[in-house]
A and B are shown apart, each in its own frame.
Chain A
Amino acid sequence: MLSSPLVLAASFAYLLLLFGVATFADARARGDRSVIGNAWVYTLSMGVYCTAWTYFGSVGRAATSGLWFLPIYLGPTLAMLLAWPVLRKMIRIARQYRITSIADFIASRYGKSRALAALVTLIALVGILPYVALQLKAISSGYALLTAAPGAAHVGGPWWRDSTLYFALALAGFTIAFGTRYLDTSERHEGMVAAIALESVVKLLAFIAVGVFVCWGLFDSPADIFARAAARADLKPLLGLGGESRFAGGQWFALTLLAMLSVIFLPRQFQVMVVENVDERHIKRASWAFPLYMLLINLFVLPIALGGLLHFGAGPADPETFVLSLPLAQGQAALALVAFIGGLSAATGMIIVEAIAVSTMVSNDLVMPLLLRFGRRDARDLSGTPLAVRRSVIVALLLMGYLYFRIAGEAYALVSIGLISFAAVAQFAPALLGGMFWKGGTRAGALAGLTAGFALWAYTLMLPSIAKSGWLATAFMNEGLFGLTLLRPEQLFGLTGLDSLTHALLWSLLANAGLYVAVSLARVPSAREAGQALLFVDVFRRAPGAGAAAPVFWRGRARLAELQALAARFLGAETAQRLLADFARRSGVAGIERIAADAQLVQFVETQLAGAIGSASARAVVAAVVEEEPLAPDDVLRMLDEASQVRALNRQLESLDKLKDDFMSSVTHELRTPLTSIRAFAELMRDDPQMDSAQRQQFLALVVAEAERLSRLVNQVLDMAKIESGHADWRNDEIDLRELVAHALQTTAEAFRERGAQTQLNQPPQMPLLHADRDRLLQVLLNLLSNAAKFVPPGRGRVVVTLRSDEQGATIEVCDNGPGVPPEQQQLVFEKFRQGGAAHARPQGTGLGLPISRQIVEHFGGRMWLRSAPGQGACFGFELPWHRKEQSQ
């Protein structure tokens, strides 16, 4: 037994430590040196899934039914391994549209429906209350066990002497300090996340410490425990899969599915996994690290359960507190205290995050709409209201949790309470998952599905649990509502043979999903629904991050002053000013007063407000200050088309601009180079009248050569521009290629003779006539031949021209024995201004000859190529078809 002051002081010190960590992380976040920006912290914060329910309840369940504790952890493992892309999409959507809770997510998807937001919030609230009570119960009984004399039963005193109440109030204060210190429009709480990550470490280490103690301190090894348990007839069944004897596959499946859904849809999970996520890439690591965490924290569940049963026998000891009672029974007071702190961290973590998440939802989706409608609608500054509301909601939530604990807490085991909550949030699945992947889902469908699912959950699971606690007559359970046996809540419509949870889950999800699909299909989505559906389902196709590029489905008239006043009213004047100045800067206008009051601005203001008061409320208050024109579904599609067309056109223009710039810059460079030589030589001769005549002759020859190069270049640039723009004149001559090649060789004979090069011609005795532009083809041949002449080695050059013909067309190849073209340059030689050859040996070309030649060949439906191995010469060739397919230029 430990003294109360010691336990209280340790608990309080632990809470202070958490608070210190949170304050530190918040300060670092404001200094832009976030401590939570890594995947490990993200993974650990997901560990908030493991609450006091895991910490105490798993052992209890394992002690009564063996491996049945497992599905609750297999589900999340499967979900993270298989469904992380779903999570990634949720994060992207939430980030893009400033969604801050699961109610907001669902409402926003179905046209920002207030009714839907309120319904989801209500379900979450009712579903989560037992769960909060469960945490209080765990702390309360843990505390009682630690401080009571061994064997003494816990006796509940009057409420004002109940330490659990004060504990609940302390936690409320704590949560307020963590989560509602200031209003952040992205609803992120770095300090809280850091504290939660620490809690995950603490509870894991504490649980493992107890596990190690039981396995190796109390017994010899885990094998020892299992061997002793297997030897006992009453414990042997716990080691098998079925609990009793038969493996209940359906029930395993139901539980696993339930846990899969819960790990994503529980408000606290949505908060840490989606809202608090700082980087989508963190999901990758979490997808295996979180399952690993689950494995570690479950490792010792069975050994502790069996160890407890072996140690205490069939005595009065409650298996749910084995984690505490085993160390205590062995006089390990310090370990018991550590175990208690571990349980405390599991419970506080859940309460803090859940309360923050639920208070956001209740404030945004239940209270604010009522306030806006009935109360303070004329108040000028409401920026403090959401915070005040949230604080009150947190206190109310914990008090209600306490009330539930006082009323029903004693009647039910931890695990049963938890499963009821799980089944409630599972109702979000059809509307949420359907909304992310199916554009046809409508608000009416979601409302119908959720209502039916929730009603069946309440009737088949919640009411029976209350009745079993003795707070409700059980007559309806045995005889059915109104005496109709078909309506017996745990055997609805005569369905028997299932446990109550599987039964409830089957009926509620069946009705939920069925109505969602059926009612959605009954009517075409409205424009607003269709618009939101597009934004959600296709979130990855919309430009990420660029607010201006995302399509905005809005049409109407707005005034800047009114929108500004609205933003100031809910966000505070200072924040509104800062946000709008930011918007002005990003839109490229001089100041706030220059912002155009268009759809983009309306969208921007609405999104910012959504962060503070939820998207449904934001939609309503924005609609009240602007004149909106209703949209038809066709309008939405048209706006979407326009947005994507404008984007595509912009991209095209940008790339054309860049091409033009590159071309101009290259041409400028190429023109300036010969000009530089000409000017330099001319000036040198001008400044030196005494220059000897041989020198002068050399310079003059260079000036002439450079001037020729310049005019060649000008001609070719014009030629190229004409061909590329499609303005070139193409004649249609009948050409004898044998004659044309002979003519080209004759024209270049002088150049080859100067280089001392031999030419050789291989050709068939006769060839069909080709229809093409004779001058243009001659231009191509001359280009290839003069290139060859430039590159062959002086004095021993050898150029072979080969002319072939087959049924498709004619082929001409010009092969030289020059240095060849290295492989990495072979693609480049056909690009503009990419001349081949080593720098110092580079003959004077324009860098346009080959590109133009290729354009000409391609114009006549042919293709041009280069075959070359370094040191083996180069073969430039092209083929032309006899019959050209008409190509559109």
Chain B
Amino acid sequence: MTKHVLIADDEPNIVISLEFLMRREGHRVSVARDGDAALQAIRRERPDLVLLDVMMPGRSGFDVCQAVRADEALAGVKILMLSAKGRDTDLAKGTALGADAYLTKPFSTRELADKVREMLE
């Protein structure tokens, strides 16, 4: 069954690779290039899952995550956070803010695909 995945990242090449990977997994993909666009897209499109980068211009991934979790209407949206910082405190912060999973960049595409599959089951 086709699921809808939103990719929120400001690095064009990372977006290209994630887009390719998610399509290959058989998902419908849309893209947001910064935090505000991501939040708008989530509210508008209600994706099944968001691949959410932490360091984005404007609203950070943490802010987006918090805003989504504060909105009960968006409770069904799964969030997988991606961060190039990968310190323990960031991981803890992401989980505390209600992210469903957290991967550090660079990530293994297989691991990411597995995780997404598991989360969408």
Confirm or deny: B108 has a beta carbon within 8 angstroms of a beta carbon on chain A. Answer: yes
Of the residues A672, A699, A702, A840, contact of B84 by C-beta under 8 Å: A672
For residue A679, CB closer than 8 A to chain B, the reply is yes
| Interface flag for B4 (CB, 8 Å) | no
A687 interfacial by beta-carbon distance below 8 Å: yes
Say which residue of A665, A676, A687, A842 sits within 8 Å of B110 (CB atoms). A687
B10:A840 contact, CB within 8 angstroms? yes
A688 CB–B CB distance under 8 Å = yes
The reply to whether B33 and A840 contact each other, CB–CB distance below 8 Å, is yes
Rounded to whole Å, the gap between the CB of A527 and the closest CB of chain B is 48
Q: Which residues of B contact A416 (CB under 8 A)?
A: none
Query: Measured between alpha carbons, how far is A11 from B85 in the docked complex, in Å?
Result: 73
Minimum C-beta distance from B55 to chain A (A): 6
CA distance A684 to B56 in the complex (A): 24
Contacts of B86 in A (CB 8 A): 672
Q: How many A-B residue pairs have CB under 8 A?
A: 71
Complex interface: chain A residues within 8 A of B13 (CB):
674, 677, 681, 702, 705-706
Contact present for B106 and A680 (CB under 8 Å)? yes
A676 with B109: CB separation less than 8 A: no
Chain A nearest Cβ from B16, distance in angstroms = 7
| Contact present for A839 and B14 (CB under 8 Å) | no
Which residues of chain A are near B12, meaning CB under 8 Å?
840
Which of chain B's residues 38-65 have a Cβ closer than 8 Å to chain A?
55-58
Stretch at the interface among B18-26, B70-78, B91-99: B18-26
Chain A residues near B34 (CB-CB < 8 A):
839-840
Q: Contact check: which of A672, A678, A684 meets B20 at CB < 8 Å?
A: A684
Within 8 A of B (CB), among A839-857: 839-840, 842
Q: Are B17 and A677 in contact (CB under 8 A)?
A: yes
Chain B contacts of A683 at CB under 8 A?
108-110
Q: How distant is B77 from chain A, measured CB to nearest CB, in Å?
A: 22
**A interface, how many residues as a size bin?**
20 to 34
The answer to whether A684 touches B106, judged by C-beta atoms less than 8 angstroms apart, is no
Collect the chain B residues with CB atoms within 8 Å of residue A840's CB.
Answer: 10, 12, 33-34
Q: If the complex has contacts A706-B13, A839-B57, are A684 and B84 also in contact, measured as CB distance less than 8 A?
A: no
- Cβ of A688: which chain B residues have Cβ within 8 Å of it? 24
Within 8 A of B (CB), among A67-124: none
Chain A residue nearest in CB terms to B83 = A669
**Shortest CB distance B108–A (Å):** 7
A572 to B80, CA, bound (A): 58
User: In the bound complex, do residue A669 and residue B85 qualify as a contact, i.e. CB atoms below 8 Å apart?
Assistant: yes
| A676 & B20 in contact (Cβ 8 Å cutoff) | no
**Which residues of A438-490 are within 8 A (CB) of B?**
none
Q: Are B17 and A839 in contact (CB under 8 A)?
A: no
Give every chain B residue within 8 A of A209 (Cβ-Cβ).
Answer: none
> Is there a chain A Cβ closer than 8 Å to B114's Cβ?
no
Nearest chain A CB to B37 CB, angstrom units = 9
Interchain CB contact under 8 A, A673 and B105: yes
Known: A676-B107, A840-B10, A842-B10. A668 touches B17 (CB 8 A): no
Q: Which 8 interchain pairs have the tightest Cβ spacing?
A: A680-B17, A672-B84, A677-B13, A676-B106, A840-B33, A676-B105, A683-B109, A679-B106
Which A residues contact B (CB, under 8 angstroms)? Answer: 665, 668-669, 672-681, 683-684, 687-688, 699, 702, 705-706, 839-840, 842
Q: List 14 A-B contacts (CB under 8 A).
A: A665-B85, A668-B84, A669-B55, A675-B105, A675-B106, A676-B11, A676-B105, A676-B106, A677-B17, A679-B106, A679-B108, A680-B17, A688-B24, A842-B10
Given contacts A673-B84, A677-B17, 9 further A-B contacts (CB under 8 A): A668-B85, A672-B105, A681-B13, A683-B108, A702-B13, A705-B13, A839-B10, A839-B34, A840-B12
